[in-house]
Amino acid sequence: EVKRDGRDSYMEYSPSFAEKNVSKIVLFEDLKKAIEENQLLLHFQPKYGLAHNQIEGVETLVRWKHPEKGMISPGEFIPLAEESDLIIQLGNWVLKEACYQYKVWEQQSYINFHLSINISPKQFLHPDFTDNIIQVLEETGMSPLKLDLEITESLAIENTESTIEKIQILKQYGIQISMDDFGTGYTSLSYLSMFPLDRIKIDRSFIQYLPDNKDHKAIVQSILTVAKNLNIRVTAEGVETQAQLALLHQLQCEEVQGFYFSKPVPPDSLLAHWNAQLMSM
Ligand code: C2E
Ligand code: MG
Ligand code: MG
Ligand code: MG
């Protein structure tokens, strides 16, 4: 925003450093309260398998319904939580709540899809992470075979050894591991062979300008080829148009996710999507 200061020159208007930090501290205190006072809630976005045109998984995406400010996006409060140990508490809340939700769906219907949960690097690297997951699975009765953890490239690059070790432990339980936002973190494709991954999710920024952007098409194609050879499934995220879908189909991408199919929705709507699909089978 540019403000005229009366003397025919222009001054940048932006909140001062102090202003920004005060509002950040306020938001941080609010977020602490939000976890305790149940202001957080979960939405779920389906992932479709192109081979059978079915929901293969659902991704858990946290939402914050702030009492005064309304809905705050995770893009705003997750990075804030990641600056402290609050992300551990938040992450544990999401994990437990999502697994409980899965069990509730199981009681409501015949469901057969996996549940993905985004894990922040700090949470993944915490020494109690694996034990905690196993405990939540026992407590909720959710099958480890249905759980999929979405980790990030930066985690894998900066903590390669310990990440591989931890993935191996989780895989012994049958838990699936996906690499989220693939392509944004400067990992080379050769990195993929180092991690025992079940799935990679190609970042939306490479899908957004398909089918016209030839460079992005080439990148997506290379990722698909390498992943296929390494036996890793590929999900394209952020699919919004029929034209994007058609190209991804042609390139033999296996899984797609995006607003073209569904936005993230509350638990009841997600189950309604699933049940509608069951009826048509
Ligand atoms: P992400 O894991 O890559 O999730 C995908 C984001 O893209 C979601 O935004 C989703 O709503 C949005 N999206 C999906 N399809 C489309 C599409 O077709 N077009 C567009 N424009 N956007 C689409 P959301 O829910 O705002 O989440 C943003 C990020 O916040 C997530 O990115 C993830 O990194 C983080 N996040 C969300 N929930 C959690 C959580 O429970 N724990 C952690 N650690 N991070 C989370
Ligand atoms: Mg994700
Ligand atoms: Mg993603
Ligand atoms: Mg993303």
ipTM: 0.98
Provide the 10 A C-beta neighbour count for residue 276.
9
3-state secondary structure 105-170: HHHHCCCCCEEEEECCHHHHHCCCHHHHHHHHHHHHCCCHHHEEEEEEHHHHHHCHHHHHHHHHHH
Distance 171 CA to ligand 4 centre (A): 24
82 close to ligand 1 (CB < 6 Angstrom) = no
User: Per-residue pLDDT tens for 104-151?
Assistant: 999 999 999 999 999 999 999 999 999 999 999 999 999 999 999 999
pLDDT of residue 281: 64
Give 15's pLDDT tier (boundaries 50, 70, 90). low
Tokens of 215: 């460079």
Pocket-testing residue among 47, 59, 78, 129, ligand 1, by greatest number of atoms within 8 A of Cβ: 78
Q: What's the rounded Cα separation, in Å, for the pair 259 and 236?
A: 12
Closest C-alpha among 256, 185, 183 to residue 226 = 183
User: Per-residue pLDDT tens for 91-115?
Assistant: 999 999 999 999 999 999 999 999 9
56 close to ligand 1 (CB < 6 Angstrom) = no
Q: Identify the H or E element spanning 57.
A: strand 54-66
The β-bridge relationship of strands 255-256 and 176-182 is unpaired
